[in-house]
Amino acid sequence: MKLTTRKFDALIIGAGGAGLRAALQLSNADARVAVVSKVFPTRSHTVAAQGGVNAALANVLPDSWHWHMFDTIKGSDYLGDQDAIEYMCRAAPKVVYELEHFGVPFSRLDNGGIYQRAFGGQSQNFGKEQAARTCAAADRTGHAILHSLYQQNLRARTHFFDEYFAIDLIKDEAGYVLGVVAFEILSGEPIVIEAKTTLIATGGAGQIFRTNTNALSNTGDGMAMALRAGVPLEDMEFVQFHPTGIAGRGMLITEGVRGEGGFLINGEGERFMERYAPQAKDLASRDVVSRAIAIEIREGRGCGKNKDHVLLDMRHLGTDTIMKKLPGIREMSMTFLGVDPIEKPIAVFPTCHYSMGGIPTNRDGQVVVPVKDTPEDPVPGLYAAGEAACVSVHGANRLGGNSLLDILVFGRAAANHILDFLKENRYHRPLPQASVDQALERLSRWERKGDGEAVEPLRRELRKVMEDHCGVFRTAEVMQEGVDKLRVLRERIENAVIRDHTQTFNTARIEAMELENLMDCAMATMCSALGREESRGAHSRVDFPERDDERWLKHSLYSLLDDSMDYKPVRTQPVTVESFPPKKRVY
Amino acid sequence: MVMPDTRTRWRCRRGMLENDLLLGRFLDHGYDSLDQEGRDAFERLLGYPDNLLLDLVLGRQATVDSGIARLVPLIRAATADRPEA
């Protein structure tokens, strides 16, 4: 078969904020850049980020990058790498001003400066008064950033492979990553995209959970590609959940509803949060509320015919309050559940929102792996940024406003390092045919006909296993059972078949390959969560309820080979300032 | 019956879960009853940026495109009428 081959200096997989920020930096420096995206770039999940970007501009209240750094480390429950966090917080004002120049329409103060709003977890003076650090473009900051970056890339003549699906990385025997094998979704034709450097920016893997807030495209494709190329995934057990997602759908119902006086009830009509948090009740912290919901359901006190959710009741607030203060929530409930919350309570369940873990990188965006006694040896030619990566600035828990910042700072940093790498690596290395063939085999595997299970029921089962065994209620017993179920599923997926074998726009084949990626990310998450015998940040173990710095102040590394776990130290030494030692987290 | 082609189905993959669900549900429940004019309007709707698309479907914004305006209640009904699906 004649295979189309294209060559570039830099290849970027994924066209969200991280990928496009990197691409722009590279194109502006006259590198030949290609961006591969399975959906049209402006349909990347970055559009869904409403909140904003944190930067210590001090436009509204006094602020400093050092306070921002402290808040981020504390928020990470001391698992974040302090050198990367210092770098990010120092770079934040610069990336925000760059966005301003790219045309992002930030909300403004009367004096013309960028408006900054206060978010949870932000403080002045290392944990004292509330800070106002989040720069926003109304409630659609992600949308504004993504569209501006896309426009800028068109101007800079970045080459886009729109609606191409990346199958696997190409890697030679010396360990260099040399591009990717992909296929064009329109024609089904495979293509080899050779590149001196490859950046993975494919976003998170929220779709491994049945209830999640992520777009359907967030199937962890880049994370799974890294795993298959022998790169372990870091800290995958840390998944941010929000207690009140619309049951069976995933979209968030904000805390504002409970703030206004809405409360949760179980299948017996009981306000159960009074038992779990007698003082704060329904306004207890997110993890406490999430776990309480999970326990009620596990113990048979759920609502509905399957007893698989609880209810968020706001009827007592009255029509006026709901219409005036919560119109958006009412609209969501009516649209997605057919339920008017003035008349009936809303079915809710904890929903997965963000993956803190991902492909391990240093603060230059280089993918790093343990080699002998070195915990962080760079993989030549391979980079990662954004939610797909774990740099790790979020550690065990991410602060609001830090994810857009992460994609911008480290998309840019990776691009700068790529430019240095390109100066020293001027020529393409020979293409390793064996690696190309292996990727093509992954594609042709789905040509197989005959008997076998269908993809969609397997996907549903996978997501349910993750929800039941690796959600907010985690014990060794529950998760070991989950690992066993995932192993069985993995074998069943290996034998699955698709019925549609056409070449043009074969969405069945894409969904099948996404399922394989989900499978790898799910196993990484479950094994990492089972391994970590403590509660830290978003990872909460019922059987190990305390943080254990003596044993567990370290990063998890999951390898696909034998589903094995390894660990590496947290980088507790910042670049220029004193380290922040672990303390009990109190807000 | 007119089934959405796979290209249309793929272009209903959006950046936001809300749009994924609304459009996906409509493809399965409603799209087949559209005439050519309706299908053309649906293609135009898919060309909108995600935030605007959601605003239109949720009725937060109006459109002068009468073809798209006719689609909006159909798309909403496809989701709201099937809460258990």
**Residues A95-101: what's their mean pLDDT?**
97
pLDDT of residue A256: 84
CA distance A265 to A122: 32
Q: Which residues of A touch B80 (CB under 8 A)?
A: 334-338
Q: What does the pLDDT look like over A1-18, one tens digit per residue?
A: 679 999 999 999 999 999
Chain A residues whose CB is inside 8 A of the B13 CB are 38-39, 43, 215-217
Q: Residue A107: in which H helix or E strand, if any? A: none
Segment (H or E) for A199 = strand A190-200
pLDDT of A286 > 90? The answer is no
A212–B7: do the CB atoms touch at under 8 Å? no
Q: Could you write out the three-class secondary structure of A402-430?
A: HHHHHHHHHHHHHHHHHHHHHHHCCCCCC
| Partners of residue A184 on adjacent β-strands | A164
In angstroms, the Cα distances linking A432 to A181, A198, A227, A265 are 12, 16, 19, 59
Size of interface A-B (CB pairs under 8 A): 90
B2 — pLDDT class (breaks 50, 70, 90):
low
Residue type, A422: L
AA identity, residue A109: L
CATH code for the structural domain at B6-80: 1.10.150.250
Buried b (16+ CB within 10 A) or exposed e, A427-459: eeeeebeebbebbbeebeebeeeeeeeebeebb
Q: Looking at this protein, which amino acid is placed at residue A339?
A: V
Residue A447: per-residue pLDDT: 92
Q: Which of A39, A209, A335 to mutate to test the interface with B (most CBs of B within 10 A)?
A: A335
Look at residue A50 in the predicted model and tell me its pLDDT: 86
- How many CB atoms are located within 10 Å of the residue A53 CB? 31
Identify all chain A residues contacting B58, using CB atoms and an 8 Å cutoff.
331, 335
Confidence of residue A228 (pLDDT cuts 50, 70, 90): very high
Which fold is adopted by the domain A244-349? Flavocytochrome C3; Chain A, domain 1 (3.90.700)
DSSP string, A344-380: SPEEEEEEEEEE--BEEB-TT-EEEEEETTEEEEEEE
Give the separation between CA A562 and CA A573, rounded to whole angstroms.
33
Q: Are strands A4-13 and A190-200 parallel, antiparallel or unpaired?
A: parallel
- For residue A259, the model assigns a pLDDT of 86
Q: Please, where are the H alpha helices in A80-189?
A: 82-102, 141-155
pLDDT value, residue A575:
97
Q: What is the largest CA-CA distance in chain A?
A: 70
A347 contacts A247 by C-beta, under 8 angstroms: yes
Long-range Cβ contacts of A423-428 (<8 Å, 24+ apart): A425/A196, A425/A197, A425/A381, A427/A196, A428/A7, A428/A178, A428/A194, A428/A196
State yes or no: pLDDT of A364 exceeds 90. Answer: yes
Q: Of A97-101, A341-345, B58-62, which gets the smallest average pLDDT?
A: B58-62
Return the percent helix, strand and coil in chain A, to nearest 5.
40, 20, 40
Share of chain A above pLDDT 70, in %: 100
Q: Yes or no: say if A219 and A514 are a contact pair by the CB < 8 Å rule.
A: yes
Taking contacts as CB-CB distances below 8 angstroms, the residues of chain B near A140 are 51
Nearest to A352 by CA among A247, A475, A218, A214: A214
Specify the residue for token string 């402006």. Answer: A42
Angle at A294 between CA A528 and CA A534, to 5 degrees: 35
User: Is the CB of B80 less than 8 angstroms away from the CB of A507?
Assistant: no
Higher pLDDT, B68 or A284: B68
B73 and chain A in contact, CB less than 8 A: no
**Are B16 and A48 a contacting pair at CB < 8 A?**
yes
- The residue type found at A271 is R
Q: Is the pLDDT of residue A368 over 50?
A: yes
Distance CA A48, CA A139 (A): 10
For residue A468, count other CB atoms closer than 10 A to its CB.
18
pTM (2 decimals)? Answer: 0.96
- The three-class DSSP label of residue A441 is helix
| Amino acid residing at A9 | D
Determine the residue of chain A that is closest to B74 in CA distance: A335
| Model pLDDT for residues B3-45, shown as the tens digit of each residue | 668 899 999 999 999 999 999 999 999 999 999 999 999 999 9
State the Cα–Cα distance between residues A152 and A248, nearest whole angstrom: 38
DSSP string, A232-278: PEESTT-EEEEEEEETTT--B--THHHHTT-EEE-TTS--THHHH-T
Domain ranges across chain A: 244-349
Segment A545-558 shows an average pLDDT of 97
Q: Is the pLDDT of residue A359 over 70?
A: yes
Residues of A classed as catalytic: 286
Residue A413 has pLDDT above 60, yes or no: yes
- Decide if pLDDT at A587 tops 90: no
Residues 6 or more apart whose Cβ sits within 8 Å of residue B4: B27, B31, B32
Inter-chain touch A47–B16, beta carbons under 8 Å: yes
Contact flag A43-B18 (C-beta cutoff 8 Å)? no
What is the mean pLDDT of the segment spanning A306-335? 92
CB contact under 8 A, B83 and A335: no
B10: nearest CB among A249, A332, A507? A507
- pLDDT band for position A386 (cuts 50, 70, 90): very high
The count of other CB atoms within 10 Å of the CB of residue A390 is 27
Residues of B in contact with A214 (CB under 8 A): 17
Q: What is the mean pLDDT of chain A?
A: 95
Q: Which residues of A14-47 are buried (b: 16+ CB within 10 A; e: fewer)?
A: bbbbbbbbbbbbbbbbebbbbbbbbbbbbbbbbb
Q: Are B4 and B27 in contact (CB under 8 A)?
A: yes
Interface check B7 vs A, CB under 8 A: yes
Among the partner-chain residues B13, B58, B81, the one whose CB lies closest to the CB of A338 is: B81
pLDDT class of A283 with cuts at 50, 70, 90: confident
pLDDT class for A342, splitting at 50, 70, 90? very high
CA dihedral (A558, A241, A473, A347) positive or negative: negative
**By C-alpha distance, which of A20, A45, A40 is closest to A143?**
A45
Cα separation, A457 vs A493, in Å, equals: 10
Condensed to tens digits (0 to 9), the pLDDT of residues A112-152 reads 999 999 988 899 999 999 999 999 998 889 999 999 999 99
Give A175-212 pLDDT, tens digit per residue: 999 999 999 999 999 999 999 999 999 999 999 999 99
DSSP A114: B
Q: Are A233 and A358 in contact (CB under 8 A)?
A: yes
- The Cα A518–Cα A56 span in angstroms is 37
- A82: its two tokens: 């302090």
B50 CB neighbours in chain A (<8 A) are 42-43, 47-48, 143
Indicate yes or no: CB of B15 within 8 angstroms of CB of A186: no
Write the residue in A47, A337, A505 that is nearest to B15 by C-beta: A47
Helices then strands, each counted (H, E), chain A? 16, 20
Task: Suggest the residue from A187, A251, A336 to mutate for an interface test with chain B (most B CBs closer than 10 A).
Answer: A336
Phi and psi, residue A127, nearest 5° = 100, 10
What is the number of other CB atoms lying within 10 angstroms of the CB of residue A542? 16
Tokens of A99: 């966005």
Tokens of A265: 């009830």
- Is residue A373 over pLDDT 90? no
CA distance readout (Å), A498 to A272, A444, A508, B7, B61: 45, 12, 7, 18, 40
Question: B17 and A217: CB-CB below 8 Å?
Answer: no
Cα B72 to Cα A449: distance, rounded to the nearest angstrom: 40
Rounded to the nearest angstrom, the gap between the alpha carbon of residue A335 and the centroid of all alpha carbons in its chain is: 26
Check CB contact under 8 Å for B6 and A504.
yes
Number of continuous H segments (helices) and E segments (strands) in chain B? 5, 0
Give A143's contacts in chain B (Cβ within 8 Å).
49-51
Query: What confidence score (pLDDT) does residue B85 get?
Result: 43
